[in-house]
Amino acid sequence: MHASLLPFRASLPRALRYALLASLVAGLPRAAVAQERPSAFVDAAGVVPGLIVDMRYAGSHNFVGRPIDGYEAPRCLLTQSAAAALASVARDLAPRGVVLKVFDCYRPTRAVANFVRWARDPDDVAGKAEFYPEVDKRTLFRDGYIAARSSHSRGSTVDLTLARSDGRELDMGTPFDFFSPRSWVAAGVSDEAKANRTLLAATMRRRGFRPYAREWWHFTLAREPYPDSYFDFPVR
């Protein structure tokens, strides 16, 4: 609640307090509304069979080279509908001896702001050799690799790959978060990588996810429950 209301909020009738709070919330950016995890979000590891969780932004193995704001634990949080759809994907893949490995799920808006600040610092290039060796950091916004607002913050977008049950990732032609045209879905890659990308995309589409043309790993639930809301509660 707004700090200026704290001294007298208890003296107001309950109905008036709720009406006042509603008016304040309506005036806030949607991303600032939810600081605690909404009940509609779940830990996907408890829903998706065999899910391997490798939350890159909770650690240092990412293009920034350090943990990102808002990731307090390596957990894959998703809306219930996205997690249920992903569970169906996992069950579809199980007969092939293949499981899903996630790199990012729900992303707080504060993490997106962290990426924006990083992108504006031309001297911070710790992850360049591994993640964007061919790209000038100053073009990341222009080329669509980083955006000021992310669908991940709506809770129904996931970055993932295919892996064996022992965690070995299938060949996809590039690693996750590799900023290059080679990561585009239609890029020319080996036959094996192309087949694996096709399998991932086809299985995800079958269960209601849309791909992103410039990142083979990125999918959003087509019928996402919060298409206009950007959340900022921490991952914990």
What does the CA dihedral 86, 91, 93, 97 come to, rounded to 10 degrees? 130
Per-residue confidence (pLDDT) for residue 28, from 0 to 100:
39
| Block residue for tokens 């060796």 | 133
Please pick, among 134, 169, 215, 224, the residue that the annotation labels catalytic. Answer: 215
pLDDT of res. 16: 37
Per-residue pLDDT of the chain (236 residues; tens, 9 = 90+): 333 333 333 444 444 333 333 333 333 344 444 578 999 999 999 999 999 999 999 999 999 999 999 999 999 999 999 999 999 999 999 999 999 999 999 999 999 999 999 999 999 999 999 999 998 888 888 888 888 899 999 999 999 999 998 889 999 999 999 999 999 998 999 999 999 999 999 999 999 999 999 999 999 999 999 999 999 999 99
Q: What is the pLDDT of residue 3?
A: 36
Our CA angle for 56, 60, 66, nearest 5°, is: 115
Q: Taking a C-beta distance cutoff of 8 angstroms, is the pair 76, 50 a contact?
A: no
- Structural tokens at position 209: 């996810």
- Cα dihedral sign for 25, 28, 30, 32? negative
Active site residue 192: no
How far apart CA 56 and CA 59 sit, in angstroms, is 6
**Which tokens hold the place of 35?**
């600081």
Tokens of 165: 């049950």
What's CA 27's distance to the chain center, in Å?
26
CA 108/CA 113 separation, integer angstroms: 9
What pLDDT does 27 receive?
39
Asked whether the beta carbons of 180 and 152 are under 8 A apart, the reply is: no
pLDDT of residue 147: 87
